[in-house]
Structure 1
Amino acid sequence: MNGMQKVGGLLAAMALASLAHAEPLNIEGIGLSRDVSCKGQDVNITGNANVIELSGDCGAVLVYGSQHKVTLDTARSLSVSGAEHEVVAKRVNALSVDTTDNQVRATVAGGEQPAVVEVTGADQVLDLQFDGPVKLDVSGTEQQVRWRGDEPEVQMSGIDNKVERQ
């Protein structure tokens, strides 16, 4: 086997390992309590009233359903959809919150490209720390976004929404 074949074989093995690692971790159920080490994986949380603690670096974290309590260290992105979730994230690079009555506390970190925060639906309450450039887009009804840190670029529409510095 020549050097090029070895390199090609190594690259193919790395690609397969990457694909195997790309499978998201699915946490589904009602009333579960679980601690999970992300190890770079994407995580999908569905169901109702689960208490989940995610440690380490996560990929994309998706929280769907209702009444989950989720804490996490870091994530490439966090999407919260459904009703009455409580989510605390130490650091995310993108954040999306929709549907209704969700509470999110997070540090959102922008880098070379601004982080994007999108808030839609109704009655969301967000407490955010911005580190670096952030684009904040708030629409829907009666959203409350309190922020600290670097001033975001804000776009607002909808009814009775509030964006205020703490």
Structure 2
Amino acid sequence: MTPDPPLRADARRNRERLLAAAEQVFAEQGVTASTEDVARVAGVGVGTVFRHFPTKEQLIEAVYHARLARLAELADRLADSADPGAAFAEFFSTTVEGAATKNALVEALSRAGVDTAAPEVGGWVRRALGVLLARAQQAGAVRPDVTVPDLLGLLVGTSRAVEHLSGDPEARVRVVEVVLDGLRVRR
């Protein structure tokens, strides 16, 4: 398979605007929002949407992959933090808070028969998360028996719990704090 040719600068900017607009529209209206709404928010014509993403599923998939890449970038940035425990908690909280939109994207892609495995980006997220976890454990902020698979399971479960509590912001924060407290080293 031949790699796609690099995009011209204006096409790259349009693609980035489309992805940002799609993420905003899907977060506000759900994944059933129209491509016309995405085009309007991006400030482009609907033809531009379809030039970059011939199907709505391809647009949803691109938004999903962009979200995963941002999570990996966040984990990479936080890994260099002077306070590994706080960095770990920030990553966990940020991931959980953005999960409702990610879950909706995954469900829409699954219904359309699109594989959401994203091995390259998913592997990047897992590696970056592993570094973040190891640093927090070395700093004595996170229990030493927690593994990356444990953490991924807790992220999924906590995300679903927080999604269920969408109408109660205080309960959402409390649930995340309870889980983070359970991950801390007992003194």
TM-score for both structures, normalised by structure 2? 0.27
Say which structure is richer in strand: 1
Say which structure is richer in helix: 2
